[in-house]
Chains A and B, each alone.
Chain A
Amino acid sequence: MTDHLGELAALYALGILEPNEQRSAEEHLTHCDACRRLLAQAEADVAAMAASQPQFEPPATLRAPRTQVRRTPGPAMWLAVAAAVAIAVLPSGYLLEQNLAMRQSELMESQVMARLMTGPHRTVAFAGTDARVMYAPDGSWYCIVIRGATAPFHVMWPHDGTQTMLGTAMPHGDIALLYLPKSHRMNQLSLMKDGQVVGQAQLVF
């Protein structure tokens, strides 16, 4: 974006820009002092709105996590350094992984939603479970949905006397989801949890 933000500063502060507009605005803000000042005012207005709603006491556990300690270790501080590394590095990796997982999950949900809205599909339950597979009649995609999942489920394709591992449905929120774009028809799928087959689905083409 080369233009100044203008009215978009208010929309940015309210968090209601479309994603592409938000990215453009952020890029522009990196080099425009005038727009940073404009945004600062809009953010102050939004903060005033937030502060004017009823306020709640946060739980006692709301405090800064012990991360990113900036200290220069002396000779007698190696144990403290080891602890600091554990504290600083582990949450960082965890957060990165969590963000990545969230992005992947959102992408998968979008793909599934698009498939379900735009094309024909069939639905079959995994016998004995609260899981089902939706799939395209031409075998071009499969979507496994497990409701109430609290642990990962592996999805297998039994064929020709072997079991092919297709992927893992990771629980997120109330459901576990696995979207599989494929180029062939699979007549049977199995769900595995903790090394045991917990459900099978027979697909018809």
Chain B
Amino acid sequence: MRLAPGDDAFAAAFAAKERWAFDEAYTRFGKLLYSTAYHVLGTPEDAQDCVHDALTRVWRSPDSYSRSRGALRSFLTVCVRNEAITRLRSKVRRRKLEERVAAEPQEYDELGAVDVIERDRLRVALRSLPPEQRRPLELAYFEYKTHVEIAQELNEPLGTIKSRIALGLRKLGATLGASE
């Protein structure tokens, strides 16, 4: 994807922490960032809080983003997604604790569960990967498992899993037209 006119100036302004660029990030990327958080957390309120917190943290951290980190859009998407995963893990851990101490068994919320639908280009693109790359990438992306957990679940060496995830991600990115 070629950068549209103004994108460079916008990213540079964001890196320089110019206020208008912070506002502009919400305008330009709000839908993508919100959707990214929503797919992980499953509720509008959690998704909105997550986007706010992630962007605010980036904005307040010195040197959090520089042009050498690549496209601002990609950087912020990953920041929001990681914030959402952290929140989800915290939620799941809390729920596990509550289950442990409560007399009655609790049902896990199916947070993060996304219907497999044909309109989902990502699911379609994943099918183009060989199964040995697709499965670990699915566990990483949709189930937020660490590479150690994935290696255990698939009963494969850690190094093999790392390679397959990295290879699968790059192939998938190319299929989906990712560019820095």
Q: List 30 A-B contacts (CB under 8 A).
A: A11-B165, A14-B165, A14-B169, A16-B145, A40-B69, A40-B75, A43-B69, A44-B173, A47-B73, A47-B178, A48-B177, A50-B32, A50-B39, A51-B176, A52-B176, A53-B39, A55-B35, A56-B31, A59-B48, A62-B34, A62-B52, A64-B22, A64-B25, A65-B56, A91-B56, A95-B56, A132-B101, A134-B101, A145-B101, A174-B98
- B77 near A43 with CB under 8 A, answer yes
- B102 near A147 with CB under 8 A, answer yes
**Known contacts A53-B120, A55-B35, A59-B44; A41/B70 CB under 8 A:** yes
- Docked complex: B82-127 residues within 8 A CB-CB of A: 82, 85-86, 90-91, 93-94, 96-98, 100-102, 114, 117, 119-122, 125
A124 to B150, CA, bound (A): 39
**Known contacts A7-B162, A10-B165, A40-B180; A50/B77 CB under 8 A:** yes
A54 to B114, CA, bound (A): 10
- B172 near A49 with CB under 8 A, answer yes
A36 to B91, CA, bound (A): 31
Give A111 Cβ to nearest chain B Cβ, in Å. 11
- Docked complex: B118-147 residues within 8 A CB-CB of A: 119-122, 125, 140-141, 144-147
**Known contacts A9-B166, A15-B82; A49/B56 CB under 8 A:** no
Give B37 Cβ to nearest chain A Cβ, in Å. 9
* Residue A191 interfacial (CB < 8 Å): no
Give B99 Cβ to nearest chain A Cβ, in Å. 11
Interface size class of A (residues with CB under 8 A): 35 or more
**Known contacts A43-B74, A47-B178; A15/B97 CB under 8 A:** no
- A40 near B70 with CB under 8 A, answer yes
Q: CB-CB < 8 A to A68: which residues of B? A: 17, 19, 22, 59-60
Interface residues of B, Cβ cutoff 8 Å to A = 17-19, 22-23, 25-26, 30-32, 34-36, 38-39, 44, 47-48, 51-53, 55-57, 59-60, 68-71, 73-75, 77-78, 81-82, 85-86, 90-91, 93-94, 96-98, 100-102, 114, 117, 119-122, 125, 140-141, 144-148, 150, 162-163, 165-166, 169-170, 172-173, 176-180
- A52 near B125 with CB under 8 A, answer yes
**Known contacts A39-B69, A54-B35; A45/B22 CB under 8 A:** no
